[in-house]
Amino acid sequence: MLVLSRKVGEAIKLSDDIEITVLAVDNLRVRLGIRAPRHINVRRTEIVDSIGQANREAAVVADPAVTNGILTKAASEKKKQE
Amino acid sequence: MHSNIAEEEITAEAIRDKIIEFRDGLPGFPRNHAFVMTQRPDEKPFVWMHSVTEPLLAFALVDAYAWEKDFTLEVDDAELEEMGSLDPMDYAVYFILRIVRQDDRTTLEAKPDAPVLVNIRNRQAKQVTSLNRSQRIPDALCVRH
């Protein structure tokens, strides 16, 4: 990991078109301003990791012995609730 | 700027049995970009989403508006722009379900704050983060064996 020291108001560039500026530092919280092209996804790491973990837990083996009938039963149950 | 995708009957026929593409991969499965959605008539509004790259990998999904008729998705316009359309009518919206098997029942658990959007015109897909976290969405359906 590359570690850089920056003061408030200073920035770093990632290639030519992404710039991250330190806007404020308050106790343990750092506010960052990010300029990037619209196609660059900027996400909080913990949210991305949380969604990835939820997806890994949701993955199933596409084997009829495992999947057969479950969504049919779910659809039937859902209809009952309506 | 945000777009509100309100409850609307959006047909997903256009994407059924065709390859949809997650350009950035599915979170947690970065190498899996291509999936196919399949659905038997008696499974509606649930669908299976099968990986093309790993044929044994699949996910159970449900149409978000069928799961909760009052569901409203608020998503950043940039997400929609990236997927090729700002028109909410161009999108099918799904929740990925976690299947939890217990002794006498199976529970399907949804994650409403991270729905999957599929542009039904160009079949671009993306799992997004809902900005509207205040709405109350049921997060589980219990099926007895």
Residue with structure tokens 């509004």? B45
Is A58 inside any structural domain?
A: no
Nearest to B94 by CA among B76, B81, B112: B112
Is A55 inside any structural domain?
A: no
Is A47 inside any structural domain?
A: no
Is A29 inside any structural domain?
A: yes
pLDDT at B1: 39
pLDDT at B14: 67
Nearest to B119 by CA among B23, B44, B25: B23
pLDDT at B2: 42
Selecting from A52, A61, A73 the residue whose C-beta is nearest the C-beta of B27 gives A52
Query: B19-61 pLDDT, tens per residue?
Result: 999 998 999 999 999 999 999 889 999 999 999 999 899 999 9
pLDDT at B10: 42
| pLDDT tops 80 at residue A66 | no
Strand stretches in chain A, DSSP E: 11-14, 18-26, 29-35, 60-61
Which of A68, A71, A72 to probe the B interface (max B CBs under 10 A)? Answer: A71
Confidence of residue A64 (pLDDT cuts 50, 70, 90): confident
| pLDDT tops 60 at residue B3 | no
Please answer whether residues B64 and A23 qualify as being in contact, where contact means their C-beta atoms are separated by less than 8 angstroms. no
Q: Are strands A29-35 and A18-26 parallel, antiparallel or unpaired?
A: antiparallel
Selecting from A59, A63, A74 the residue whose C-beta is nearest the C-beta of B141 gives A74
For residue B77, the SS3 value is helix
CB-based contact B40 A72, cutoff 8 Å: yes
* Chain A residue closest in CA terms to B63: A75
Please answer whether residues A23 and A32 qualify as being in contact, where contact means their C-beta atoms are separated by less than 8 angstroms. yes
CB-based contact B45 A56, cutoff 8 Å: no
Residues of B with CB under 8 A from a CB of A: 24, 26-29, 40, 42-48, 50, 55-60, 62, 66-67, 78, 81-82, 96-99, 106, 108, 111, 114, 127, 129, 141-143
Please answer whether residues B106 and A73 qualify as being in contact, where contact means their C-beta atoms are separated by less than 8 angstroms. yes
CA distances from B128 to A62, B49, B95, B96, B131 (A): 24, 17, 11, 12, 9
For residue B94, the SS3 value is strand
Nearest to A51 by CA among B112, B61, B28: B28
Is A75 inside any structural domain?
A: no
Q: How many domains, in total, are found in chain A?
A: 1
Please answer whether residues B65 and B59 qualify as being in contact, where contact means their C-beta atoms are separated by less than 8 angstroms. no
| pLDDT tops 80 at residue A20 | yes
Is A65 inside any structural domain?
A: no
pLDDT at B40: 87
Nearest to A39 by CA among B41, B84, B59: B84
Please answer whether residues A56 and B24 qualify as being in contact, where contact means their C-beta atoms are separated by less than 8 angstroms. no
CB-based contact B59 A55, cutoff 8 Å: yes
In this structure, what token pair is assigned to residue B24? Answer: 């950035």
Show the domain range for A27.
Answer: 7-37
State the pTM of this model: 0.83
Residue B6 or residue B107, greater confidence = B107
Q: Spell out the domains of chain B, with CATH numbers in brackets.
A: 2-144 (2.30.290.10)
| pLDDT tops 80 at residue B133 | no
Q: What integer best gives the mean pLDDT of chain A? A: 91
For residue B16, the SS3 value is strand
CB-based contact A62 B56, cutoff 8 Å: yes
Cβ–Cβ contact A39 with B under 8 A: yes
pLDDT at B4: 42
CB-based contact B143 A63, cutoff 8 Å: no
Amino acid at B82: E
pLDDT at A11: 97
Query: B66-119 pLDDT, tens per residue?
Result: 998 888 888 888 889 889 999 988 999 999 999 998 888 899 999 888 999 999
